[in-house]
Amino acid sequence: MSERKRKKTKRNWTPLAILGFVGLVTIGMASAALTQNWRASQIVSDGGAEYLSTAERLYLQALLTPREKELMAPAGLLTTDTEFEITSGQGASAVAQNLVAAGLLQDADLFLNYARYYGYDRQLEAGYFIIPPGASTADLAVLLTDARDPFVTVTFIEGMRMEEMTENLVETLPGQIDPILFDSIIHKRTLIDFSRYDFEAALEAEPTLEGFLFPDTYQLPLDATAEDLVHAMLTNFEQQITPAMRQAYGTRNLSLHEAITLASIVEREAVYDYEKPQMSAVFLNRIAQEMMLQADPTVQYAVAQSAGEWWKAPLTVTDLETNSPYNTYVTAGLPPGPIANPGRAALEAVAFPEQSNALFFIVDCTADTPNTHVFSETYEDHLAIFNKCNN
């Protein structure tokens, strides 16, 4: 080959070599940039679901990495808590479309890719959800793996005072029920309409709703408010007080207010329902004979100061001498109002007490069952049992 041809051949390959070199450098730089981007990304930091193939993992990483900001930004446009339901058998695609229709999501594909990458698409759970405003696409994928009950469940036990009910709500935070508003309503700082109840006059006359908040387990809609809960409790109370019970209260010269007040004392004194008619008889007998009720729970109510000390025990001599209209050791008759919220058994016990002449009761220290009581007609018999148990 001539010198001229060799030079020509050399000049033809030089541009290709340069182009090749530049291409390699460009690819290398792009690869380095992508790798740096990749390592900085929080979204794909753990490598995704284990069951993904290498090809699918790399594909999803390539889609998700540059969209990290979108994944963390609010997914929808709504500004309030929103209820969302996944029905049984719905797949991820249907869920994504329903999220879009509900205004909770704008980019269904982004949601599906993210859910697929982390395996959330296999963990979506049928049920109800409350989606907070501002929830991101990443938030949605996680939230929808843990369904809630279709109802808010609230439980109050017999003998709770109002403050304990509020504390219960503070601890459990059920749904949309605001404990602060609940407390304001039951203390009548926030007024609600009582006209729906046939005992409206009694409710209006009371300084608080103590005694009328029937203790029970309540299942309410997810969007139930504090006012809804109070109305549910008052409605339940109305249903528990039968016409026969009201007539029986009247026969015993007790107003509804007085009957509830006595029932609240019985509720706090008795551990077992079967003893409540006996205790009711004792207190009614003492009222009839104008004796002091001398009920320890009324003293506990009078001396209570703060959370955790609503029912102080044991009581001291100083406690028993507390100057309060609720202290039935120093004030005759019933206290000014209920000291707690009684259940059905205590309300029935006041309406239908046991036929008895007993005036005293004391914990039976000889019984196999703890916290049962011995009932006596005379102080001498009562004192003998007291001495026997304390010697």
Domain boundary among 240, 263, 282: 240
Same domain, 250 and 349: yes
Q: Identify whether 36 is part of a domain.
A: no
Same domain, 257 and 232: no
Same domain, 221 and 255: no
pLDDT in tens, the chain (391 residues): 433 333 433 444 444 443 444 444 343 444 434 433 433 345 555 678 999 999 999 999 999 999 999 999 999 999 988 889 999 999 999 999 999 999 999 999 999 999 999 999 999 999 989 899 999 999 999 999 998 777 889 999 999 999 999 999 999 999 889 999 999 999 999 999 999 999 999 999 999 999 999 999 999 988 899 999 999 999 999 999 999 999 999 999 999 999 999 999 999 999 999 999 999 999 999 999 999 999 999 999 999 976 668 999 999 999 999 999 999 999 999 999 999 999 999 999 999 999 999 999 999 988 888 999 999 999 999 999 899 888 7
pLDDT at residue 4, as a whole number: 39
Q: Identify whether 165 is part of a domain.
A: yes
Amino acid at 266: V
Same domain, 251 and 348: yes
Residue 74: which CATH number? 3.30.1490.480
Domain hosting 202: range is 151-240
Give the residue ranges of DSSP H helices in the chain.
3-40, 54-64, 68-72, 92-101, 108-118, 137-143, 162-172, 179-186, 200-205, 226-240, 243-251, 256-269, 276-288, 296-303, 317-320, 344-351, 379-389
Same domain, 195 and 261: no
- Give residue for tokens 């004796």: 291
Same domain, 124 and 227: no
Q: How far apart are the first and last CA of the chain?
A: 130
> In which region does residue 129 sit, left (phi positive, over 0), alpha (psi from -120 to 50) or beta (all else)?
beta
Q: Identify whether 73 is part of a domain.
A: yes
pLDDT at residue 149, as a whole number: 74
Domain boundary among 127, 143, 159: 143
Same domain, 173 and 118: no
Same domain, 101 and 165: no
pLDDT at residue 307, as a whole number: 62
Same domain, 233 and 247: no
Same domain, 266 and 290: yes
pLDDT at residue 251, as a whole number: 96
Same domain, 283 and 350: yes
pTM here is 0.70
pLDDT at residue 290, as a whole number: 95
Q: Identify whether 168 is part of a domain.
A: yes
Same domain, 83 and 96: yes
